[in-house]
Structure 1
């Protein structure tokens, strides 16, 4: 399978380096080179690319702003000299996050994630009983779960559902990507906006990290950082 790549970076040297790397990988083809977000949008309007090699800090519009308006199915590898955007990049469903200067070995590790992700089997939906109704929920849409004494509230991107089930029982049925950071909260890592002052910012909610879960959670984050 050939993967077409669009390079978006305002630094000519960075573009030349990535182009050289693309040409060294047999299953990659170069779809084009753009030096700002406006050029990239124009290019994508008539020549779709499978994979964007996207810089973050660019004049006028940033790579993060471009990622925010592209379809969520668009595959992106961020390339930047700044590490502080790592958490936000994964919230944009990035395949990887490459810190400049980028070695060929690190570039190859990133692009090799593309076929592996495409071959993943989708997670089965979660069926819950909310009141008298059985509701189907897609795991990727769950942002966080809030527990009370005898029930939990499952928050998704668009709605919430109350389920009469203990937090521990529900936790055992969750797949990878969910992390407990508080006695009353389980979050899904893909929806983390940022981590600040012992709180995790989720869409529409700021959740504290308690002492019991802090060490394991921060270790998980440390292992995911570049």
Structure 2
């Protein structure tokens, strides 16, 4: 079970989160609070796995909270203001939920957190996922699953994007997400460019899978991916000849 804490300065908002948590079998409600300082103290005790955190709060903002909790738990940001999404992702949050939060979107974020938390636990028990170099010139690579003797072939054409999460990479295809114990930099040096291109310190995308670019956001399927400021100009130079 993943122990969750709901933090929002509006009590009705924490109630919505608690109601959503109660519907997900692998989540356990560990409490809720409207006080960010109280929440930080709880996190530092080490018994919280996941925090659903509002960004705009008095005394301590969500971004300040992230910087102070120093990776003691996973965090999903909740807010009514989409302009904070980029800064949130740069702080390595699991996901970013816009209010009002539909349960379907909440569940998607919860599954993402579950992948990350389980991968971290697997690493602790020396049962981690890793990958081995594949013949990238032939359009595929192999990744090691949670079984030490099992390797999964991934065709490059099936990859939508990769998300870096500290020592892990979340590789997303059309029908599954695979957690890999490697860094995004490893994949950046191995995957062919194009079609793969790094657009953010946490994301590599397949240009072939992009359906829309709007401002500093890329749309792949129903997923929105931010473009980092330092990558924006070079990315636009890459795609403009194709317009």
TM more than 0.5: yes
Look at both structures and tell me which one has the larger radius of gyration over its CA atoms.
Answer: 1
Secondary structure of the corresponding residue to residue 29 of structure 2: strand
Secondary structure of the corresponding residue to residue 87 of structure 1: helix
- Give runs of ≥4 in structure 1 deviating > 6 Å: none
| Contact 1:6 1:49 (C-alpha < 8 Å) held by counterparts | yes
Paired residues in the alignment total 166
TM-score by length of 2: 0.55
Q: In the TM superposition, what are the counterparts of 1:96-175 in structure 2 within 5 Å? A: 96-117=95-116, 118-119=118-119, 121-122=129-130, 173-174=190-191
Structure 1 position 187, deviation (Å): 5.9
Deviation string for 1:22-45 (max 9, x for gaps)? 112121111111212211112223
* Whole-Å separation in 2 of the counterparts to 1:215 and 1:73: 42
Q: Cα RMSD between the aligned structures? A: 4.0
Please, which runs of 5 or more residues in structure 1 have no aligned partner? 126-138, 142-169, 181-185, 220-226
Note closer, same or farther for the CA distance 1:109–1:74 as it changes in structure 2 (3 Å cut).
same
* Whole-Å separation in 1 of the counterparts to 2:110 and 2:23: 12
* Whole-Å separation in 2 of the counterparts to 1:73 and 1:44: 7
| Contact 2:43 2:73 (C-alpha < 8 Å) held by counterparts | no
- Structure with more relative contact order (C-alpha pairs < 8 Å, separation 6 or more): 1
Counterpart of 1:64? 63
